[in-house]
Amino acid sequence: MTGEAVVITDVGPRDGLQNQLKLLSIDERVQLIKAVAAAGVAQVEVGSFVSPKAVPAMAATDQVFAELQGQADYSALSIALIPNMKGYELAKAAGAKTVTMVLYASDGMAQKNASMSMAEAEAVTLDILACAKRDGIAVIATISVAFECPFDGPVDPALVERIAAKFMAAGADQVVLADTIGAAQPQQVRELTARLVQTHGAAQLGCHFHDTRAMGLANVFAAVESGIRRFDSSIAGLGGCPFAPGASGNVATEDITMMLSQMGFATGIDMTKLIAASDLAQQLTGTAPGGRSKPWIQRYLVKTQK
Amino acid sequence: MTGEAVVITDVGPRDGLQNQLKLLSIDERVQLIKAVAAAGVAQVEVGSFVSPKAVPAMAATDQVFAELQGQADYSALSIALIPNMKGYELAKAAGAKTVTMVLYASDGMAQKNASMSMAEAEAVTLDILACAKRDGIAVIATISVAFECPFDGPVDPALVERIAAKFMAAGADQVVLADTIGAAQPQQVRELTARLVQTHGAAQLGCHFHDTRAMGLANVFAAVESGIRRFDSSIAGLGGCPFAPGASGNVATEDITMMLSQMGFATGIDMTKLIAASDLAQQLTGTAPGGRSKPWIQRYLVKTQK
């Protein structure tokens, strides 16, 4: 796989910060996003357009977009997460070029997170997708709890395949399988991703893993073996989901970059600058754990640059 | 893989404790070994017969064996690590039924760890193997730095294949590939283990991974895919190697057990008792990190026992 490209989306400024007790200022959020972008990370989930009462950390995401839009470089890589049509309208007004829509592989999670059924969330998301197509905005359809739900238990892979097929057919630019609570095991990931790649090809498929049970990178590797080349991760391992009991941090961007680089993939990421972004995330939040491979990256660089 | 057996060897009481600053008493070491065995772990590396000056934590391993031999149950599962013929004689005198011999996939590591060349270590180990065969003692040949050496860099897989073939032919009961410094990546593990399984079958092959760069379970999964069904791990993630710069803890027994159980393998391990053993390891050492999946095991048990 020498030199083959893999696309990393850093969701730390959204999935990460929304779960921190400490609220960052607009300036701090923008500073973090720019540091991650400066390291060469392909895409950054810069915030979400949700109720500031429900998720105070994501208040004023429109101001984050305004700051980033002053600089053409950032608006191309910035993604906004939107939970519903209102969120879509706000994201569009803020100038988002790509939005992430949230789907559910369980009714329990759909109810708790969005007070809708799975089917209702699909209907809403199809409406948003139609609007986005008209507006020239790219859409990522993220299927949350794609492997296991904290409320309803294990998820039938056939259900995930059905939702993925529906949104591929409807014209989603990407479909992402999210292991929202970090409960998936790699054999399960290997099998489901292999079937999806066989049906749809890998170009538009992505995966989003949490490292709750230490299986984060095992699941990434399993998906890589199936042909998946798009992954979400979070700078300094920031992360979690306030609405999903049992969820801890996303796979750290440092860790996934280290593994994929060692495997010979081209991530486009400058690891020295990635360490700087991770340091900043730890400094700004005070609680980000930092990727577990972080202490070894410098040693690895010294060796590989000999 | 539902119900297929996998054999876990807990190396915490040896590979783990030897790297702790705090020295445990004989009683404490025996207490930890019994707790791990009580959880159903198939084999336990209970100590090593090395110079007590070089590795003070492993002093008086003969007394550990004496304590364990009072109870027939423990002597069957107890393994002693031996670095040389003197160690072999001591292990035999102590009543060890299985010994782990150390081989090297680099001259740099052989020199630093044993003041020998790779070839000298192989010759010594063949002598020990002949004695053990005569004495009815089972032998595990562990190839250290089988993927990368901290002194000599990346290891040629062909070299590891040569050593493995040599010791399989010589009658080793098991050959274990050890990623001593936790530098392997899963694609590399997948390829080397697949070739070895194709040549020798899986029954006598094992793997030993460290979680230094967060890839421990990814490497376990890669080896599982190749057919490997024997793994070393360490209770509470105790571990490291004092002679290998850059090595941190072994894959935690809690984490590997959690992953393999979720994948449907039969480990023979009672996870509630494993948590108790991990608690004890953390209490006795004061520094063992604890498996990262440990907080989730109880939740998993509640769900799967519904």
Enter the DSSP assignment of A17: G
Confidence class of residue A249 from pLDDT cuts 50, 70 and 90?
Answer: confident
CB A259 within 8 A of CB A220: yes
User: B240 CB contacts (<8 Å, ≥6 apart)?
Assistant: B15, B16, B19, B210, B247, B248, B249, B250
Asked if the Cβ–Cβ distance from A220 to B215 is below 8 Å, we say no
pLDDT at B244: 56
Residue B1 resides in a domain: no
A59 versus A73: the higher-pLDDT residue is A59
**CATH code of the domain in which A64 resides:** 3.20.20.70
Nearest residue on chain A to B261, alpha-carbon basis: A185
**Beta strand segments in B91-132, E:** 98-104
Mean pLDDT of A70-95: 91
User: A133 CB contacts (<8 Å, ≥6 apart)?
Assistant: A139, A171
Mean of the per-residue pLDDT values of chain A: 93
Residue A175 resides in a domain: yes
pLDDT at B122 over 90: yes
CB proximity under 8 Å: A 120-159 to B: 153
Residue A2 resides in a domain: no
pLDDT at B306: 45
A207 vs B: CB within 8 A: no
State the residue for tokens 């004496």.
Answer: B66
Asked if the Cβ–Cβ distance from B221 to A220 is below 8 Å, we say no
pTM of the model: 0.95
Q: What ipTM describes this predicted complex?
A: 0.94
Looking at CA atoms only, how far is residue A207 from chain B in angstroms?
16
What gap in Å lies between CA A22 and CA B55, rounded to an integer? 45
Residue A104 resides in a domain: yes
Residue A62 resides in a domain: yes
Nearest to B222 among A212, A214, A221 (CB): A221
Question: How much of chain A, in percent, has pLDDT values that exceed 70?
Answer: 95
Tell me: the pLDDT tens digits for B234-255?
A: 999 997 555 555 557 899 999 9
pLDDT at A243: 57
Mutate to test the interface with B, among A226, A251, A262, A306 (most CBs of B within 10 A): A262
Looking at CA atoms only, how far is residue A147 from chain B in angstroms?
12
Mean of the per-residue pLDDT values of chain B: 93
Please report residues of B whose CB lies closer than 8 A to that of A222. 221
Q: Which range, of A272-286, B9-23, B136-150, averages the lowest pLDDT?
A: B9-23
Question: How much of chain B, in percent, has pLDDT values that exceed 70?
Answer: 95
Structure tokens belonging to residue B182: 């936790």
Tell me: the pLDDT tens digits for A49-59?
A: 999 998 899 99
B262 vs A: CB within 8 A: yes
**Beta strand segments in B57-173, E:** 78-82, 98-104, 138-144, 148-149, 153-154
What domain range is B275 assigned to? Answer: 7-304
Number of helices followed by number of strands (H, E) in chain A? 12, 10
What gap in Å lies between CA A251 and CA A240, rounded to an integer? 10
Nearest to B218 among A187, A259, A303 (CB): A259
Residue A85 resides in a domain: yes
pLDDT at B18 over 90: no
Residue B207 falls in the annotated catalytic set: no
Residue A274 resides in a domain: yes
B15 vs A: CB within 8 A: no
Q: Is B218 helix (H, G, I), strand (E, B) or coil?
A: helix
Tell me: the pLDDT tens digits for B50-87?
A: 999 988 999 999 999 999 987 667 888 999 999 999 99
- The domain tally of chain B equals 1
Please report residues of B whose CB lies closer than 8 A to that of A4. none
A258 vs B: CB within 8 A: yes
A216 vs B: CB within 8 A: yes
Please report residues of B whose CB lies closer than 8 A to that of A186. 217-218, 221, 259, 263
User: A21 CB contacts (<8 Å, ≥6 apart)?
Assistant: A287
Q: Is B36 helix (H, G, I), strand (E, B) or coil?
A: helix
Residue B155 resides in a domain: yes
Confidence class of residue A131 from pLDDT cuts 50, 70 and 90?
Answer: very high
Mean pLDDT of A68-97: 91
pLDDT at A16: 87
Q: Which residues of A226-265 are buried (b: 16+ CB within 10 A; e: fewer)?
A: bebbbbbbbbbbbbbbebbebbbbbbbbbbbbbbbbbbeb
Question: How much of chain A, in percent, has pLDDT values that exceed 90?
Answer: 80
pLDDT at A245: 57
